Amino acid sequence: MYNKVSICGVDTSKLPVLREAQNEKLLKEVKAGNKYARDELINGNLRLVLSVIQRFTNRGENLDDLFQVGCIGLIKSIDNFDISQNVRFSTYAVPMIIGEIRRYLRDNNSIRVSRSIKDTAYKAMQVKEKLTAQNGKEPRVEEIAKELDLPIEDVVIALESVVSPVSLYDPVYSDGGDTIYVLDQVGDKNDDKNWLSEIAFKEAIKNLSQREKHILNLRFMQGKTQMEVSEEIGISQAQVSRLEKGALQKIRE
């Protein structure tokens, strides 16, 4: 793509590349109101946009559209960049470009998400971009939630709800032979039932008393008889039977 592809009528092989010192000089001129410097800065960083959209080329989206959206992110990063901060322009611009493309993909997603969740996702993405620019690394979900003063669960749900769906025919692995697709790793129709039952079972056991848990462990994990259990814990066989039946009934309920 760098050498031969034309995007939006632009020959990508002829795109200029600015050095960091040139970026810094032009950014100062832009902040002083020089429109020509702004245009030069945009044109000098189009390769940066080009490098970012490589991450999204497997989604079936039109590259021209992604490039134009990425340019919007580049322009926003130029307009909002704080030259007083000790941060490279590319470090600030890349997350901004990525965020703009992700917003575009979310808004054009066929799966509809409620407005409140989408608003939370937008705010979370903005905070993520801000913290990334400040710290030079992506923040943890806990940091984003703290900044928004929201529960971590709400932030996770919001961010997950706007992730583009994965096709069953997306390749997962290929070593030059047969390719493994997402479809190949999807379980059978009983998988959901099995893991849901396991979760329900574990939750039910948590509600048992320590004595009930101990009796079930001796009876069903160690295979001991009710008489052996009664001798070990010092109660009658009838009490063991009653406690065992009560524990099993709680689990069933």
- Model pLDDT for residues 32-57, shown as the tens digit of each residue: 888 888 888 888 888 888 888 887 77
The SS3 call for residue 199 is helix
Q: In the chain, which segments carry CATH 1.20.120.1810? A: 1-108
pLDDT (0 to 100) of residue 188: 56
**Mean pLDDT across the chain, nearest whole number?**
79
CATH label, 111-165, candidates 1.10.10.10, 3.30.70.100, 2.40.37.10, 3.20.20.80? 1.10.10.10
Q: What is the DSSP string of 51-94?
A: HHHGGGGGG---HHHHHHHHHHHHHHHHHH--TTSS--HHHHHH
In sequence order, which residues have a C-beta less than 8 Å from that of residue 81 and are 6 or more positions away? 27, 89, 92, 93
In sequence order, which residues have a C-beta less than 8 Å from that of residue 123 and are 6 or more positions away? 148
Q: In the chain, which segments carry CATH 1.10.10.10? A: 111-165, 191-252
What is the dotted CATH code of the domain comprising 1-108? 1.20.120.1810
The model's confidence at residue 216, banded by pLDDT at 50, 70 and 90, is confident
> Taking Cα atoms as reference points, which of 96, 99, 109 lies closest to residue 59?
109
Q: For the chain, count helices (H), then strands (E).
A: 12, 4
pLDDT (0 to 100) of residue 2: 40
Q: How far is CA 250 from CA 236, 243, 253, in A?
A: 21, 11, 5
Mean pLDDT in residue range 153-173:
71
pLDDT in tens, 80-89: 888 888 888 8
Q: How far is CA 246 from CA 101, 240, 249, in A?
A: 57, 10, 5
The model's confidence at residue 227, banded by pLDDT at 50, 70 and 90, is confident
Classify domain 191-252 at the CATH topology level: Arc Repressor Mutant, subunit A (1.10.10)
pTM comes to 0.44
Candidate from 87-101, 128-142, 171-185, 189-203 with smallest mean pLDDT: 171-185
Tell me which of 118 and 112 has the higher pLDDT. 118
> Taking Cα atoms as reference points, which of 144, 138, 33, 60 lies closest to residue 94?
138
Mean pLDDT in residue range 199-213:
83
